[in-house]
Structure formats: structure tokens, C-alpha cells
Amino acid sequence: MLALRLLNVVAPAYFLCIALVTLVLQLFLFLPRMREDPTAARLFSPALLHGALFLFLSTNALGNYVLVIQNSPDDLDACQGAEARRALCPPPSTHFCRVCARVTLRHDHHCFFTGNCIGSRNMRNFVLFCLYTSLACLYSMVAGVAYISAVLSISFAHPLAFLTLLPTSISQFFSGAVLGSEMFVILMLYLWFAIGLACAGFCCHQLLLILRGQTRHQVRKGVAVRARPWRKNLQEVFGKRWLLGLLVPMFNVGSESCKQREK
């Protein structure tokens, strides 16, 4: 239990460090390199478009990250009293998390990178956090590849060029042909690639469970769920203002099914 609580502190710190390093590289390395292009138009310059897109992706990723932490899935506010808990929130949909030391309504899993449980109130923000983190990492990797290609005059036209970049760069780094800053960017490329793919896979898996009306906790426990149309399952998590939630980080205020039962 002590190791889990320690991981609950280290993992968010690790994510915030990666986010800070990515922001610094984008602002002080990639963007200045794009501004040096003399042929670029002033109104729609690559630097301006790149900065706007990265700002949009990073704002949504960090905004939903904060909302996942703030919007606690504690079931005490949604279902008050023992009788209400038995009537509105059946035991299979609740779970007591030992790390958080609280009961979660429609528990899915405990996310160590946010230090919080994922349940009915923050599921939408968690899925969007995974989506925009994946996009931000993969986009940063593309910008980093363009930077390395221009600085080191490396062509990535061959499919295996990215895979052989790291071992080749390590040997050139010890021989003095590659600077420390350039080697650091190359290492970040592989880190962005790994995090981007992991978040994309987790996001797709989570969306599949949402369409089925299931949670990871229910799948692990073998709990059978009532078959419902996928549109209702999707609306229960993302709500009616799902398009606005894709553009701007917004609170996900509880479960629609619990609200309907309260009425």
C-alpha cells in the first residue's frame, strides 16, 4: 500500500515534468526555428499555425487533466443515505478504493497519473485527457522530427529511418558529432511516440467500453450489464453538449442514469 501511495505522488509529478519540458522545447526551440524561414507568409506563417495548434491541444489536455482531479467521483454527493445507495447505486457499480480511501460510483479504475479514481463524474474528462495528450505528444513528435531533420540534415523518407535514429545518434553523440541538446530532443521523440501511442490505445479501449455500457471494474469482476443502445451509453458519459466539451474543457456533472433515477 505504501508503494501505491508513493506511485500516486510520483506519477503526476512525472506527467507534469514531461508537460513542462514539452512546453519549453516548443516555445524556445521549435517555434524560433520556424520563424527563421524567410519564405513564410507573415499572416499564416508556420510558426503561428504551429503555435496555435499546439496551444489548443495542450490547453485541452491540461484542462481536462485538472478537471479529472477536481471532479472527484465520490458517490456521497450523488446518492445520499444508505437506502438511496441501495436503490439508486447498485453494489456492482460501486467500489471502495484503498488508495483514495473512498467509494466510487460506477468505478472504472484508479489512475495514478492523475492521483484519482475514474468514475461517473470524471469519465468524460479522462477520455478527453487521453485523447488530447495523445494528439499533443504525436504532434510534438512530428515537430521534433522536422527540427532534427533540419538541424542534422537527416532524411526520414525511409520507413526505418526513425527506428535507426536513436542507436545512430548515440554513437554520434559520444564521438562529438551530435550536441547534447540535439540528443535530448531525440530522446524526447521516442518518449512522445510511446506516450502518444499508449494514450491513443487507452482512449480507444475506454471508448469501446463506454459504447458497451461497461467499466473496466465490471469487466474484471465479470459483472453482467444490461444491453442498451450505444447512443444512450455514449450520451450518459459525454452528455448532450459533447461537441462543446471537445473544444473547451468542461466539468462532467455526474451520471445521467443516476439523475434520471433520482427524478
111 catalytic residue (yes or no)? yes
Give the pairing type, strands 94-97 and 102-105: antiparallel
Cell 558529432 sits on residue:
177
CB 75 within 8 A of CB 87: no
Report which of 59, 82, 69 is spatially closest to residue 11, judged by C-alpha positions: 69
Q: 3-state class of 98 per DSSP? A: coil
Distance separating alpha carbons of residues 58 and 25, to the nearest angstrom: 13
Catalytic residue from among 79, 89, 111, 117: 111
How is the chain split among helix, strand and coil, in percent rounded to 5?
65, 5, 30
Q: What DSSP line would sit under 66-133, residue for residue?
A: HHHHHS--BTTTTS-SHHHHHHHS-GGGEEEETTTTEEEET--EEETTTTEEE-TTTHHHHHHHHHHH
Residues marked as catalytic:
111
